Structure 1
């Protein structure tokens, strides 16, 4: 990240931009930095000015206590202001929940697109989320960052053998470094349910996308988002999972943002 700006509370945010035209800000999800969404920036930058940034508490960005979801919305406001005062937003996974919250706050955005924002669609899922929040809070309070990462990976549905293999891999240290930010994404997701009241207040067009290779509840969540916003569109991408191919997703986003 070659540029820095300050958010309202003084937190330094690292970002970079590429391309020309209307601005599009890409918002990453949990356990990730701007590098995670950077591959999507390349095809989109052929038509837009695409902004990739490290959310607070991860990558090259700073952090300021105490955390509040409102501070992350202010981070997006600072980025939008830095690129001309108006932008479209794309958020993946829990980053989609942040993008939707930003739009609902009245941030000057033109469009919002989200990919597989993991809102719970059943009572069983809501109970699982509540248990995750409780255990995550305890693990981070006790400094057990590795356990916090394991909790998140289990929530995503990874097999235990895969999790233990990851714990022995060179990438684990980096995952533990940003583990405290798991609490931020957990806060952004609220209680995990679809925030219908918040979504109903969004006045800009919203595109909710999911892959047909992902679990059915991911598609149910995307459809629920599209149904809850006044100007929502639901789209399923054939052959895609939670890690969507940028070359498949980018044309869909570009068409939406240009509309």
Structure 2
């Protein structure tokens, strides 16, 4: 059943919960909504009260411009308060960055697991971050969501095939194009904010797949060393799109330690 909570600026955040035990909030990355994490819920719900939600501007959640990272942190704070916090957090990709920023901002957190937050400290970009972020935003704002999604996917290293535009799920992905700017704002200059993350006291597990590019390894290492209680983990045989059966044992083991 879909439930809602009001964020500090009046935005309505839609979420679902299942299971019992300590609350665990799953935070999706770019082009994800709460259904994107559906396959994670059943194997986790036996150990935790699993909360999946639509980040602002997606699915059944509303939005209140202008966008700011602080507003998404307030959304997570509202969810944690509704769950009776403190909560465990698991974030994938840009959702991982949001988890870390929320913890640094003082959201009530027990433990945080992140999978491949897109920090590209040692990665050479094709163009400056600000230029690319503004290009994607302009495309989405002017009715060219399909081009915005394609540009973002290529930026993320996806081997883009034009035939995906004929897939039945493509229109739903394009509908999320206006939120790509939010994910790029979270990514910012691609450098781990070590001073800010140094205030995080909750244990953090930074995960990556051994089939992922070098940036994912460097990102996990940088995150783990920037926080007070950081750990790294590698998932063999997988890349950025890690399947639930490979990921869940790491999450259950870490959150139950």
TM-score range, shorter chain: over 0.9
Contact 1:126-1:191 at 8 Å conserved across structures: no
**2:121 is equivalent to residue 121 of structure 1:** yes
Unpaired runs of 5+ residues, structure 2, are: none
1:132 deviates by: 2.0
TM-score (norm 2): 0.95
- Tell me how far apart the structure 2 counterparts of residues 138 and 178 of structure 1 sit (CA, whole Å): 14
Contact 1:126-1:192 at 8 Å conserved across structures: no
- Per mean C-alpha deviation after superposition, the further-off stretch among 118-127 and 35-44 is 118-127
Aligned to 2:236: 238
- Tell me how far apart the structure 2 counterparts of residues 200 and 138 of structure 1 sit (CA, whole Å): 34
Matches within 5 A, 1:4-19: 4-19=4-19
Aligned to 2:103: 103
Matches within 5 A, 1:1-259: 2-122=2-122, 124-125=124-125, 127=127, 129-160=129-160, 162=161, 164-259=162-257
Contact 1:6-1:78 at 8 Å conserved across structures: yes
- Tell me how far apart the structure 2 counterparts of residues 145 and 89 of structure 1 sit (CA, whole Å): 30
TM-score (norm 1): 0.94
1:128 deviates by: 5.2
Q: Check 1:141–1:245 CA distance in 2 against 1; reply closer, same or farther (3 A cut).
A: closer
1:208 deviates by: 0.2
- Tell me how far apart the structure 1 counterparts of residues 34 and 165 of structure 2 sit (CA, whole Å): 23
Compute the RMSD of aligned alpha carbons. 1.5
- Per mean C-alpha deviation after superposition, the further-off stretch among 187-196 and 22-31 is 187-196
- Tell me how far apart the structure 2 counterparts of residues 159 and 44 of structure 1 sit (CA, whole Å): 31
Contact 1:91-1:97 at 8 Å conserved across structures: yes
- Tell me how far apart the structure 2 counterparts of residues 190 and 129 of structure 1 sit (CA, whole Å): 7
* Structure 2 counterpart SS, 1:124: coil
- Tell me how far apart the structure 2 counterparts of residues 257 and 219 of structure 1 sit (CA, whole Å): 22
Deviations 1:24-44 (A, max 9, x none): 100000011111122112111
- Tell me how far apart the structure 2 counterparts of residues 139 and 192 of structure 1 sit (CA, whole Å): 22
* Structure 2 counterpart SS, 1:204: coil
The number of equivalent residue pairs is 257
- Tell me how far apart the structure 1 counterparts of residues 140 and 150 of structure 2 sit (CA, whole Å): 12
